[in-house]
């Protein structure tokens, strides 16, 4: 059967992608950011999964304000890197896993979560920057990816509690797929940041540290935190952090198993306008 072995959490700042693509990773501004992912790239090489289930948000790239799905699962065979205004990033095309994606859609919808099924979608920095941070600049990504887009851009956005519960449903779906697959689930976006208005540039290091601690040790408690607390404390784009709760909800301890092991933690301020946070949690064997 398929099995979730680990969850990965990381910010997705577009300037990080540009720094990689333009060969600026050794510049003094960027060097400390990429240093925090050295361990992670090694870990990805040593623990390459068969599939990544990648929870991210689209930034009005694939979905405009015409159509705003709350939760959208990619069931396609391929996803093209999007053109976000400067041309598509020079990164590999993302290969999907239509069979596992269709199985997860079937299972999760039958568990009463209304997913939008997406057979064609371009993927923006929300998905490609986490892949670049974790995998570097390969000719091909190391495995297929199932993109799972969450609306955190246009209100109303889903609650932390709903995200945690959805993660549990996704784990149940993956664990019932009849093929031996090692699956990672990634929660991306965050940490604290605000890109517009009088509070543009807001970063809250205390909030971010507390969020990471509580995500690991008390995910149920963190799931109960309402949106308005994220927006007030972590900025308008800090709400992207609810996506981390989907990945956390898919870990074994939320379904009666043992607690995960923290393999890696990194935090750095700032990258562009954003606090960069990163965690790797492993399920017990």
Is it true that the peptide bond before 39 is cis, omega within 30 degrees of 0? no
The yes-or-no answer on residue 125 being catalytic is yes
Q: Check residue 14 for interaction with ligand DHB (CB under 6 A).
A: yes
Using the rule CB under 6 A, which residue among 273, 275, 276, 281 binds ligand DHB? Answer: 273
- Among 97, 103, 193, 278, the one annotated catalytic: 193
Contact predicate 114/105, CB 8 Å: no
3-class SS of residue 22: coil
Which of 6-14, 28-36, 64-72, 179-187 is the region at the interface with ligand DHB (rule: CB under 6 A)?
6-14
From edge to edge, which strands make up the β-sheet containing 116-118?
A: 116-118, 71-74, 145-150, 51-56, 182-188, 3-10, 274-282, 261-271
Q: Say how far apart CA 230 and CA 56 lie, in whole Å.
A: 17
Q: Check residue 268 for interaction with ligand DHB (CB under 6 A).
A: no
Nearest one of 273, 138, 134, 122 to 194, comparing CA atoms: 273
By beta-carbon proximity to ligand DHB, the closer residue of 57 and 222 is 57
By beta-carbon proximity to ligand DHB, the closer residue of 241 and 252 is 241
Which of 77-85, 100-108, 164-172, 268-276 is the region at the interface with ligand DHB (rule: CB under 6 A)?
268-276
For ligand DHB, the binding residues in 54-83 under the rule CB under 6 A are 59
Using the rule CB under 6 A, which residue among 237, 241, 242, 260 binds ligand DHB? Answer: 237
Which of 12-20, 86-94, 133-141, 244-252 is the region at the interface with ligand DHB (rule: CB under 6 A)?
12-20
Using the rule CB under 6 A, which residue among 111, 161, 255, 272 binds ligand DHB? Answer: 272
Q: Check residue 238 for interaction with ligand DHB (CB under 6 A).
A: no
Q: Check residue 13 for interaction with ligand DHB (CB under 6 A).
A: yes
By beta-carbon proximity to ligand DHB, the closer residue of 57 and 165 is 57
Q: Check residue 193 for interaction with ligand DHB (CB under 6 A).
A: yes
Contact predicate 79/93, CB 8 Å: yes
> What are φ and ψ of residue 189, in 5° steps?
100, -175
Residue 202 Cβ, how far from ligand DHB at the closest point, in Å? 11
Nearest one of 96, 85, 141 to 121, comparing CA atoms: 96
Rounded (5°) CA angle 214-233-266: 50
For ligand DHB, the binding residues in 161-190 under the rule CB under 6 A are none
Nearest one of 206, 209, 239, 204 to 225, comparing CA atoms: 239
Interacting residues with ligand DHB (CB under 6 A): 12-15, 59, 193, 195, 237, 272-274
């Amino acid at each position: 059967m398929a099995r979730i072995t680990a969850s990965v959490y990381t910010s997705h700042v577009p300037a990080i992608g540009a720094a990689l693509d333009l060969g600026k990773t050794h510049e003094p501004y960027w060097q400390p950011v990429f240093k925090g992912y050295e361990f992670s790239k090694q870990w990805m090489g040593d623990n390459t999964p068969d599939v990544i289930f990648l929870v991210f948000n689209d930034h009005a790239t694939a979905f405009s304000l015409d159509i705003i799905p709350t939760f959208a699962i990619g069931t396609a065979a391929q996803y093209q890197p999007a053109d976000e205004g400067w041309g598509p990033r020079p990164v590999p095309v993302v290969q999907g896993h239509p069979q596992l994606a269709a199985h997860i859609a079937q299972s999760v919808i039958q568990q009463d979560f209304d997913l939008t099924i997406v057979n064609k979608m371009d993927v923006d920095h929300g998905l490609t920057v986490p892949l670049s941070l974790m995998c570097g600049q390969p000719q091909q990504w190391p495995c297929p990816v199932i993109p799972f887009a969450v609306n955190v851009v246009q209100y109303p956005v889903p609650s932390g509690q709903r995200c945690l519960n959805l993660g549990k449903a996704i784990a149940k779906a993956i664990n019932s797929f009849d093929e031996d697959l090692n699956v990672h689930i990634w929660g991306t976006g965050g940490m604290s940041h605000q890109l517009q208005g009088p509070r543009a540039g807001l970063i809250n290091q205390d909030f971010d540290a507390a969020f990471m601690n509580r995500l690991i040790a008390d995910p149920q408690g963190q799931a109960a935190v309402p949106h308005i607390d994220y927006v007030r404390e972590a900025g308008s784009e800090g709400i992207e952090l609810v996506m981390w709760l989907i990945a956390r909800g898919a870990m074994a301890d939320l379904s009666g198993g043992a607690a995960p092991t923290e393999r890696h933690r990194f935090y750095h301020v700032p990258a562009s306008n954003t606090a960069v946070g990163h965690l790797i949690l492993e399920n017990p064997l």
